[in-house]
């Protein structure tokens, strides 16, 4: 991954402002990231109603916890995305346990169609990530995506794919390693991922 720039990133600046109670900074962060976060939530929850609800929860928690974000420990982008994914997986598990009999009821929105809505800010990053994923061997990629978007654990992935646990672990390790290297490579070429 690209070395962090010596000055604070714009996202970190926004979080600092949010921590000081600046509501316009929260609005700015919302404007910058709501579309990709909503996309993530829709992919995990397959329901517009649930995704919007969790999106609200996510921004509320960003507002509540901004003061304890420490950039020395990681990037603002990672913090936000991880928070969104965690809330989504929590909601998914809660929905699954309440509606075990009828999974189809969860899906009230078809999977998203285009990315035509991406503004320039995200379009470049999306390209980089898509290209990187395409270069990862299919078995590794499948395991990574099952973990990330369905919140499955290593054993659950092994069961789902009908593969031995050891194989799955090795593939996930290789996949993550490759993803990290490819992203680093592509970003190093001045793609300027704005973390």
Residues 120-139 binding other proteins (CB under 8 A) are 122, 125-126, 128-130, 132-133
Instruction: For the CB of residue 14, give the shortest distance to other proteins in the complex, in Å.
Output: 14
Distance CA 141, CA 174 (A): 10
Find the binding residues for other proteins in span 87-106 (CB under 8 A): 89-90
Instruction: For the CB of residue 104, give the shortest distance to other proteins in the complex, in Å.
Output: 21
Among 96, 99, 112, 167, binds other proteins (CB under 8 A): 112
117 binds other proteins (CB under 8 A): yes
Find the binding residues for other proteins in span 4-33 (CB under 8 A): 19, 21, 23, 26-27, 30-31
x/- map, 50-79, other proteins, by CB under 8 A: --x--xx--xxx-xxxxxxxx--xxx-xxx
- Distance set, CA 33 to CA 16, 23, 27, 36, 151 (Å): 16, 15, 10, 6, 22
Contact 87, 38 (CB under 8 A): no
With CA atoms as reference, report the closest residue to 188 among 132, 109, 119, 123. 132
Structure tokens at 78: 């990672």
160 binds other proteins (CB under 8 A): no
Burial (CB < 10 A; 0-12, 13-18, 19+), residue 37, is buried
């Amino acid at each position: 991954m690209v070395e962090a720039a010596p000055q604070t990133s714009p996202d970190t600046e926004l979080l600092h402002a949010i921590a000081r109670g600046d509501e316009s900074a929260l609005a700015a962060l919302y404007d910058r990231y709501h579309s990709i976060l909503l996309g993530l939530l829709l992919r995990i929850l397959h329901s517009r109603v649930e995704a919007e609800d969790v999106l609200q929860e996510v921004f509320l928690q960003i507002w509540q916890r901004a003061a304890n974000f420490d950039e020395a420990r990681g990037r603002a982008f990672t913090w936000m995305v991880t928070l969104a994914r965690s809330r989504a997986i929590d909601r998914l598990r809660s929905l699954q346990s309440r509606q075990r009999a009828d999974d189809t009821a969860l899906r009230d929105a078809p999977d998203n169609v285009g990315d035509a809505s991406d503004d320039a800010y995200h379009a470049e990053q999306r390209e980089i990530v898509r290209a990187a994923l395409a270069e990862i061997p299919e078995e590794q990629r499948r395991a990574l995506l099952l973990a990330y978007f369905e919140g499955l654990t290593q054993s659950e992935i092994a069961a789902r794919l009908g593969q031995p646990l050891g194989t799955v672990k090795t593939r996930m390790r290789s996949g993550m390693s490759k993803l990290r290297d490819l992203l680093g490579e592509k970003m190093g070429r001045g793609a300027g991922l704005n973390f």
